[in-house]
Chains A and B, each alone.
Chain A
Amino acid sequence: MKIKILLTVIILFGFFIRIWRIDHIPPMVDRSIYFFRIVSSLSYIGSGFLLYIFTKRLMHFKRIALLSAFIYTLLPWSFEQSRITSLPNIALFIFLIFLNFFTFNKQVILKIISLVFLITVYFYLYPQVLNIVPVFKIQISQILHNFFSILSPEFFLFKNNLYWWGGVRDWGIINISLLPFMVIGILFLIERKKYQIIIWTLLIALCTALNSDFPETRVFYLSLPFISVTIATGIFKFIKKESLKIRIIFLILLAFYFYDLAQYFHYYLIHYPQQISGNISEIHEAF
């Protein structure tokens, strides 16, 4: 019961910070966009709950599931995309529906049906994700370059340039302070043989690398749930340790994380609107 209350609080908090001044930050060209931004923020609610369910069933730990939802709520990229008209954000909600069906249904036929459902919905809703260049039409060096630039520390921590004109490109997709937890999370997932998380992330990275719109493609946004689970797993491993030294290190990292968040929100609320207002003419879609 307590976990469910906490989850609801997290999601509601996440929704609130997403809709606060959503009509001003970032600036809107047209009032009609307001509706689509609200839809994007609402899809976050669905994604948050679905992510919790998925993580709980996969990891069998409610705390990891709760932490995943929390991390997902505050990830820079998630926050930024939930405040604009974002097809990837809505596509992520659909993807999480599919994921819950696909992962936990043992019947192959149901898995296939869920996959067909996903492809069909994406065909109409988010066709960009299906713009994959055949492997034989692109040089291996280019594929490797794209793939490893997606998985590079630069992209993860410093420069998310997949949405050049409209995104927060001076920030990575996760906060630097979460990196130790992500590394520990990856090692723990390997140890526990929860390879699905890593495989899904790599698969989505590969699809992004092969996308014809690369680097102007946000397909990699679909990996945010897996990244959230990985980080949450790392945090969970940390807080489970009873050693005083570990707890002190954790508190220091936590303090750094809050400082990191404060820096990000300061940048987003004050400097990003100014930077983006000069780019609005370059964005040729609802923003």
Chain B
Amino acid sequence: MNINSERLYAKISMMKKTGIILILIVILGVILRFFQLGRVPISLEWDEVALGYDAFSILQTGKDQFGKAFPLTFRSLDDYKPPIYEYLTVPSILFFGLSQFSTRFPSAFFGVLTIIALYYLSLGIFKEIPNFRSKAVYISLLASFFLAISPWHLQFSRAAFEVNVSTFITTLAVTCFIYGLRSPRLFLVSAFLFGLDLFSYHSARIVGPILLLSLFLLFNRKLPGKMYLLSFFAILSVFVFCFIPILLSPDAQIRFKATNIFNPGARYLNEKDLEKDFLDERLFDKKAGFELAGKIFHNQRLIYFDYDTLKKAFYNYISNFDFEYLFVKGDAPLHHAPGFGLLYIVSFPLVIIGLLYLLFKALNRYTAIIPIWMLISPIPNAVTREAPHSVRTELIVPAYQIFTALGLVVLILFVIKESKWVRFILILSLVFLFLINQSYYLHQYYVHTNIELSENWMYGRKEAVFFTENNKKNYDKVIVSMKVDMPYIFWLFYSKYPPKTYLSEGGTVSGGFADERNHFDKYEFKNFTYDKLPHDQKLLLVGTPDDIPANANILKTIYYLDGSIALKIAENSH
């Protein structure tokens, strides 16, 4: 054989091996995402059931629960969700029926696809570094492996979180952009994906455009020809034109108004009232004889740009890089396994090594994407409450996996020069620590999540629905207390109430927390006082322990998995 044939043979052999390893990683990702999908976490929480039922309604009637035909924004629980996840759930429900599994399926499916997308993204980036060309495949395989087992990514792949689909779209969009610099057709695909991203999740509406702008700035000299550029913007503008009405609509702005840091909402009673604080501080300055200083430093006209708000925005932003948040305890209980962070603690030194190595030794226009991506992703959380927030910043996850992979490769390259025994001990220690960390995570997730967090995951509603469905024929009405938290949507979902019938009865009146106007069939969703219920009707009642006293005619008690009482079902005295 001549040299060229040998090289070709070696290349094909390498590609085969890479392909096999990638397939194995994807299979691992599939197992971790689909094993007991729909059962761990044990139940759907209100956003998930809302997504599921809206998709079910679209499938059967072409309208959402409010009767709006093929909306570009789903009013849902009055939080105006972007539409992509709902529409992706439609085929899932078509094949699997309306269930916990089918509602979570798109998230798991696109979570698996993200693993593949990340492989190609890393490959596209690291092939452009001369010193790392031969190692690009290893880094890419490692990055996709780390994503496959990432606690952060698994948490949101195994529940119906729109941001997980958004992560896939964003990753694929950037991948297509990079490959599109050489293959212009992919450049146009990237335009489509960036446009689609505007409809995937709220955070992507900020991260996507800034990331796209960064890519244009980084690669301004490598962009395809004018025709392709024009086509790119033409495709993107179609999505932007569809998006503008959403942006300007008062309804769609409700989500931002409810969550931004500039307006203290009624739910967050411990938040600073900026206007009041300004006034108090100015009055104090005036009393102390510093009226002019008060006008300068506590100017209400600058309330949105005042120092305190800027500090808060910056604090919100930077808190997303907090060590304890990332590696030890995470944020809200729904967003991570109990007693575990978002990333493996073993990966901390690898992330640091990867970051420093990239900045000092491997920084070029391609690799610069990764730190830029990392810095852009928390921006949406800077101006919203509840920071740090792992859902709103999930778009950062691919960047962390790439840094981890790079860090590991750099460490191995360093260790390889040492003696056999040093190599052996170091690698063995790393593998050992990693296995312990991973085992602990799997234990915490599969064993403790359901037991410790069944209340957070709104367990008990399904069981309550089954009971009321089986017994409602014996009653005039079924009243479900509002303390059950958005009860109407749980009852719609688990009873699989036909959307056509529901819409003919008026559909959802409001997705608000306290709204008592929603009803269907025999069900009414409103607060009640047990002792003041009428006696002339046979009523089946569902409520929390606060709603139903101990001396009531209790028919069933539903318990959380930790043994505490979730719901009680009773009947009135008649």
Contact = CB atoms under 8 A, between A and B. Distances in A.
B79 interface: no
A266 B356 contact: no
Contacts of B359: 187
Given A157-B315, A158-B311, A176-B311, A191 B360 contact: yes
B318 A157 contact: yes
B324 A270 contact: no
B70 interface: no
Contacts of B321: 153
A148 B324 contact: yes
B466 interface: no
Contacts of A157: 311, 314-315, 318
Contacts of B322: 148, 152-154
Interface in A53-74: none
Nearest to B323: A148
A137 interface: no
A191 B359 CA distance: 10
B290 interface: yes
Nearest to B321: A153
Nearest to A260: B307
A240 interface: no
A120 interface: no
| Residue of A141, A154, A263 with most chain B CB atoms under a 10 A cut-off | A263
B228 interface: no
Interface stretch (B200-208, B247-255, B280-288): B280-288
A266 B319 contact: no
A144 B328 CA distance: 9
B431 interface: no
Interface in B311-340: 311, 314-315, 318-319, 321-324, 328
B467 interface: no
A105 B297 CA distance: 49
B293 interface: yes
Interface in B348-366: 356, 359-360
A270 B314 contact: no
A271 B323 contact: no
A145 B360 CA distance: 29
B324 A153 contact: no
B297 A153 contact: no
Contacts of A270: 284-285, 288, 290, 293
A224 to B, nearest CB: 21
B360 A266 contact: no
Given A190-B360, A263-B297, A266-B297, A153 B315 contact: yes
B342 to A, nearest CB: 15
A147 to B, nearest CB: 9
A262 B292 CA distance: 13
A262 B227 CA distance: 52
Q: How large is the interface on A (under 10, 10 to 19, 20 to 34, 35 or more residues)?
A: 20 to 34
Contacts of A196: none
Contacts of B360: 187, 190-191
A141 B339 CA distance: 11
A201 interface: no
Contact of A141 (B307, B311, B328): B328
A25 to B, nearest CB: 12
Contacts of B323: 144, 148, 151-152
A92 to B, nearest CB: 27
Interface residues of B, number: 22
Interface in A184-232: 187, 190-191
Given A270-B284, A270-B285, A270-B288, A145 B318 contact: no
Contacts of B311: 157-158, 176
Contact of B314 (A148, A176, A190): A176
A149 interface: yes
Contacts of B285: 270
B287 to A, nearest CB: 10
A149 B324 CA distance: 8
A265 to B, nearest CB: 10
B290 A153 contact: no
Contacts of A103: none
A201 B153 CA distance: 34
| Residue of B284, B290, B307 with most chain A CB atoms under a 10 A cut-off | B307
Interface in A111-152: 141, 144-145, 148-149, 151-152
Contacts of B284: 270-271, 274
A30 B324 CA distance: 42
A221 B551 CA distance: 62
A153 B328 contact: no
A243 to B, nearest CB: 16
Contacts of A145: 324, 328
Contacts of A152: 322-324
Given A148-B323, A158-B315, A176-B314, A190 B356 contact: yes
Nearest to B322: A152
A155 to B, nearest CB: 11
| Residue of A144, A154, A191, A270 with most chain B CB atoms under a 10 A cut-off | A270
A44 B321 CA distance: 34
Nearest to A151: B323
Given A141-B328, A187-B359, A190-B360, A263 B307 contact: yes
Contact of A153 (B288, B293, B319, B356): B319
B281 A271 contact: yes
Given A266-B293, A271-B281, A154 B314 contact: no
B328 A154 contact: no
A33 to B, nearest CB: 23
B482 to A, nearest CB: 37
A157 B284 CA distance: 25
Interface string A259-287: 00011001000110010000000000000
Interface string A148-170: 11011110011000000000000
A253 B148 CA distance: 41
Nearest to A273: B288
Given A190-B360, A191-B360, A154 B315 contact: yes
B520 to A, nearest CB: 48
Given A154-B319, A154-B322, A158-B311, 13 more contacts: A144-B323, A144-B328, A148-B323, A157-B315, A157-B318, A176-B310, A187-B359, A191-B360, A262-B297, A263-B297, A266-B293, A270-B284, A270-B290
The 3 closest A-B pairs by CB, nearest first: A148-B323, A153-B318, A266-B297
15 contacts: A144-B324, A144-B328, A148-B322, A152-B324, A153-B315, A153-B318, A153-B321, A154-B315, A157-B311, A157-B314, A157-B315, A158-B311, A176-B314, A190-B356, A263-B307
